[in-house]
């Protein structure tokens, strides 16, 4: 028996499911919510559908580098807004906002660390900073990281994710493709290993340069990898739909553009095995 009945029909009771902020995260692919501590233990891979949730650079550093071994370098290097560019907003304002929201000075963090005891020069791009577009300072930080790898005889690992070149810097951005590629050639001439990890999404000028120049190219499952984005291709080709799996890591692997697809929780072990096999370390240099 109902103790209380509605006087009027058609009134819906909204069931409130208020989740305490910062404790639960919902997966964009399957919609399931998962306790953040459980996600952290699972390398931020959804336990329901294996979707690799987007994570910032610090989490990649935690996942890849040996405990407390990462020492950041050139952390204060930032763009000077060389063209004083503005469209409907000033580029300078966008930069200031990005710095604040991502808590970093550029779209990449670089440093030295060990991975499985092997000395590594590690760079991690971060989509939270202007969708990890490649600006002049991004290229400069990568170039200096490569120089450091050469000086110390470290393997180089770059975690790539990017929306492409940073249009607000025009040629200053585009020239980074050539600059970084030339530096990578120097690294290769010294017999040092370069491994790139392609995460979701890796596009544009980054794909067209250093993301595809690794001795080993590893992709995360489900990562979108390509040059032009899917909507651009659809418009240009006049297509309603693209083939299933188009530009997705597993499909890109089938077509020979990457060497392997490795789940995030196996990346550190895979990298350390590869480095030990291909480029075993000289005595570990100091990290200062």
Distance between CA atoms of 58 and 99, rounded to whole angstroms? Answer: 15
Smallest separation, CB 138 to Zn ion (Å): 31
User: Which region among 28-36, 175-183, 201-209, 258-266 touches Zn ion (by CB under 5 A)?
Assistant: 28-36
Exposure string of 112-147, with b = 16+ CB inside 10 Å and e = fewer, is bbbbbebbbbbbbbbbbbbbbbbbbbbbbbbbbbbe
Q: Which residues contact 277 (CB under 8 A, 6 or more apart)?
A: none
User: Which region among 29-37, 90-98, 179-187, 275-283 touches Zn ion (by CB under 5 A)?
Assistant: 29-37
Binds Zn ion by CB under 5 A, chosen from 45, 46, 196, 274: 46
> Taking CB under 5 A as the rule, does residue 30 contact Zn ion?
yes
**Pairing of β 71-73 and β 33-35:** unpaired
How many other C-beta atoms lie within 10 A of the C-beta of residue 5? 5
The residue among 125 and 261 lying less far from Zn ion, judged by its C-beta, is 261
Nearest to 285 by CA among 190, 151, 147: 151
The contact pattern for Zn ion, residues 48-67, with x = CB under 5 A and - = no contact, is xx-x----------------
The residue among 30 and 167 lying less far from Zn ion, judged by its C-beta, is 30
User: Which region among 8-16, 43-51, 207-215, 221-229 touches Zn ion (by CB under 5 A)?
Assistant: 43-51
Count of chain residues binding Zn ion (CB under 5 A): 7
Q: Which residues bind Zn ion (CB under 5 A)?
A: 27, 29-30, 46, 48-49, 51
């Amino acid at each position: 028996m109902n103790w209380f009945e509605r006087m009027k029909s058609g009134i819906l009771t909204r069931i409130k499911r208020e989740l305490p902020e910062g404790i639960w995260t919902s997966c964009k692919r399957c919609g399931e919510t998962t306790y953040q501590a459980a996600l952290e233990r699972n390398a931020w891979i959804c336990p329901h559908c294996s979707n690799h949730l987007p994570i910032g650079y610090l989490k990649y550093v935690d996942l890849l580098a040996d405990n407390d071994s990462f020492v950041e370098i050139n952390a204060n290097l930032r763009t000077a807004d060389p063209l004083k560019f503005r469209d409907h907003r000033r580029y300078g304002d966008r930069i200031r906002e990005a710095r604040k929201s991502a808590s970093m000075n550029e779209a990449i963090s670089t440093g030295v660390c060990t991975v499985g005891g092997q000395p590594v020069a590690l760079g991690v791009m971060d989509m939270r900073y202007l969708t990890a577009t490649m600006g002049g300072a991004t290229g400069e930080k990568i170039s200096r990281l490569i120089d450091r790898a050469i000086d110390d005889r470290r393997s180089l690992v770059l975690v790539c994710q990017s929306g492409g070149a940073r249009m607000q810097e025009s040629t200053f951005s585009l020239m980074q493709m050539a600059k970084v590629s030339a530096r990578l050639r120097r690294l290769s001439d010294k017999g040092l290993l370069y491994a790139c990890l392609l995460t979701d999404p890796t596009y544009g000028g980054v794909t067209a340069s250093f993301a595809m120049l690794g001795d080993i190219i590893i992709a995360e499952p489900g990562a979108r990898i390509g040059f032009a984005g899917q909507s651009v291709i659809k418009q240009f080709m006049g297509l309603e739909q693209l083939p299933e799996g188009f530009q997705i890591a597993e499909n890109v692997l089938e077509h020979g553009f990457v060497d392997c697809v490795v789940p995030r929780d196996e990346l550190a072990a895979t990298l350390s095995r590869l480095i030990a096999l291909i480029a075993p370390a000289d005595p570990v240099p100091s990290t200062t």
